[in-house]
């Protein structure tokens, strides 16, 4: 039998987060078709990978990012408020379609090199350019257009009426949903409650229902947002958005930091998908109620929230969230297990898969699942030998430990070389575009 990819002598991370050594894994037509204890010597493959010294695990999935902020890197760290009005709005509103394309290309490059195989982009203006970049990069993505029709700070290309916003989101859906062998899917975006009128919110809820599309929102990231909602609608954001039909089981609630216990109950009732972005939020908006959110049975994933203030390395998010939650919620009651290594690893894998609508076919190494997988080089002094490799991987592994990446059954990185793009050329183009944007946005 001939298959696309054959991996030999590899350790695999199983669904119950245990490890099985020396396995043979066969990938064909986008799927994991067999996992053998005893190697089948009759198998031939177009691509053979030696898995010795490697751990095969599901690719990480970034549940909330902004590929359009890739070239904002280094601009917002250590800045006083309001970063949104002083930096993000001038930057995003000055992006051209070409800027967005190269920005997304670089974001995909960085994600692939960190073992991220899929992501949810909360969106900018030029999502057609992002779809093109994702198609070429070979990644899996749930893309949304950023929609907003109100708020004094919004200018330039970001400003549009509710009607235009909805038409553009629908057009993006019609053109790109389920394209690139099903790797690209489209969600309806809702930037945040302060920049969306009630008319736009109603339109988003109606459109998402009609298309059966997911919704990607920013929720309870900032105290101003909660205050705005209480002042204008006499409800907290979760209640208000639930009443408007925005919160469904297909809604990605990015950040979800300032949730009350009642808010968590509302989200649990709707089975919404929570995404925490610890590096983006811990220093300015505080600690999410993650233990309570998990207790309520909600799906929790992780997101890097774009490259403006940090990197696109989900391994870092795993660590920072775990330390933060233990320090804040565990220490007062001397409970070091308030967020375990396994739970944080599960967030970066299955939490992300659930958020992008792939709970049934991603996030697990098993026969019949989609082959979005990575090989981690465990033959390194900071990883092995280990008395518990799963805990060590969650606590110590880094993006640079990812050796190979396979997405939808296709090899996109081999021995740390990304095969779907010219890395040097992407970085060179990105620098040219970054300098042009800076001149337009900040001079």
Q: Applying CB under 5 A, which residues contact Zn ion?
A: 122, 305
Nearer to Zn ion, 282 or 394 (CB): 282
For residues 114 and 256, which CB has a smaller minimum distance to Zn ion in the complex? 256
Helix ranges (DSSP H) in 42-182? 83, 89-93, 97-113, 127-137, 162-176
CB 192 within 8 A of CB 126: no
* CA distance linking residue 27 with residue 18, whole number of Å: 21
How far are the Cα atoms of 30, 106, 168 from residue 244, in angstroms, in the given order? 39, 36, 21
Crossing angle for the helix pair 97-113 and 423-442, to the nearest 10 degrees: 130
Q: What is the smallest separation between the CB atom of 232 and Zn ion, expressed in angstroms?
A: 22
Least Å distance, CB 303 to Zn ion, is 7
Please report how close the Cβ of residue 19 comes to Zn ion at its closest, in angstroms.
34
Which CB, 7 or 308, lies closer to Zn ion? 308
Smallest gap from Cβ 191 to Zn ion, in A, equals 9
CB 270 within 8 A of CB 298: no
Q: For Zn ion, which is the closer residue by CB, 305 or 346?
A: 305
Query: 61 and 352 in contact (C-beta within 8 Å)?
Result: yes
Q: Which is nearer to Zn ion, 263 or 305 (CB)?
A: 305
Q: Render 143-191 in DSSP notation, one character per residue.
A: EE-------TT--GGG---HHHHHHHHHHHHHHHTTBTTTTEEEEEEE-
Closest among 119, 58, 33 to 364, alpha carbons compared: 58
Least gap, CB of 122 to Zn ion (angstroms): 5
Q: In whole angstroms, how close is the CB of 257 to Zn ion at the nearest point?
A: 12
**Residue 424 beta carbon to Zn ion: minimum distance, rounded to whole angstroms:** 29
Please report how close the Cβ of residue 69 comes to Zn ion at its closest, in angstroms: 8
- CA-based nearest residue to 6, from 48, 50, 56: 48
Give the residue with the Cβ less far from Zn ion, 64 or 370: 64
* CA–CA distance, 64 with 390 (Å, rounded to integer): 24
Q: Which residues contact 51 (CB under 8 A, 6 or more apart)?
A: 7, 8, 9, 10, 11, 23, 25, 375
Closest approach, Cβ 380 to Zn ion, in A, equals: 33
Q: Of all residues in this chain, which one has the CB nearest to Zn ion in the complex?
A: 305
3-state secondary structure of 26: strand
CB closer to Zn ion out of 304 and 371: 304
Question: 11 — phi, psi (to 5°)?
Answer: -85, 140
Nearer to Zn ion, 33 or 122 (CB): 122
Name beta bridge partners: 26. Answer: 6, 34
Helix (H) or strand (E) holding 200, with range, is helix 198-211
Closest to Zn ion by CB, 40 or 79: 79
């Amino acid at each position: 039998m001939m298959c696309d990819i054959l991996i030999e002598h590899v350790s695999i991370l199983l669904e119950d987060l245990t490890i099985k050594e020396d396995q043979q894994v066969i990938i064909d037509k986008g799927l994991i078709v067999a996992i053998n204890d005893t190697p089948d010597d009759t198998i031939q493959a177009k691509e053979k990978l030696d898995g010795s010294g490697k751990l095969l695990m599901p690719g990480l999935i970034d549940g909330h990012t902004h590929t359009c902020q890739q070239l904002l890197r280094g601009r917002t760290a250590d800045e006083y408020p309001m970063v949104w009005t002083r930096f993000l709005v001038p930057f995003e509103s000055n992006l051209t379609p070409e800027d967005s394309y190269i920005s997304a290309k670089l974001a995909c490059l960085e994600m692939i090199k960190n073992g991220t195989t899929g992501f949810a982009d909360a969106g900018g203006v030029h999502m057609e350019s992002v779809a093109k970049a994702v198609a070429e990069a070979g990644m899996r993505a749930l893309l949304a257009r950023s929609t907003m029709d109100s708020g004094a700070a919004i200018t330039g290309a970001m400003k549009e009426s509710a009607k235009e916003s909805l038409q553009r989101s629908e057009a993006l859906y019609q053109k790109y949903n389920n394209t690139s062998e099903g790797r690209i899917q489209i969600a309806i975006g809702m930037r945040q409650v302060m920049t969306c009128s009630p008319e736009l919110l109603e339109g988003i809820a109606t459109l998402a229902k009609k298309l059966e599309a997911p919704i990607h929102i920013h929720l309870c990231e900032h105290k101003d947002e909660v205050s705005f909602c209480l002042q204008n609608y006499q409800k907290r954001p979760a209640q208000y958005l639930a009443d408007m039909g925005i919160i469904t089981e297909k809604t990605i609630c990015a950040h979800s930091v300032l949730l009350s216990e009642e808010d968590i109950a509302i989200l649990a009732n709707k089975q919404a998908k929570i995404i925490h972005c610890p590096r983006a939020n811990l220093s300015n908006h505080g600690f999410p109620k993650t233990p309570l959110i998990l207790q309520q049975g909600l799906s929790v994933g992780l997101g890097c929230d774009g490259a403006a203030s940090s990197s696109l390395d989900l391994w870092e998010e795993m660590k920072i969230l775990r330390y933060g939650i233990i320090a804040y919620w565990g220490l007062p009651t001397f409970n070091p297990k308030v967020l375990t290594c396994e739970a944080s690893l599960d967030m970066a894998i299955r939490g992300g898969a659930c958020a992008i609508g792939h709970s049934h076919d991603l996030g697990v190494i098993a026969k019949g699942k989609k082959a979005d997988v990575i090989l981690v080089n465990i033959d390194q002094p900071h990883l092995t030998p280990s008395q518990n490799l799963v805990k060590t991987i969650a606590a110590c592994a880094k993006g640079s430990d990812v050796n190979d990446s396979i997405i939808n059954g296709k090899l996109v990185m081999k021995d740390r070389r990304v095969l779907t793009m010219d890395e040097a050329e992407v970085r060179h183009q990105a620098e040219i575009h970054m300098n042009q944007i800076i001149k337009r946005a900040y001079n």
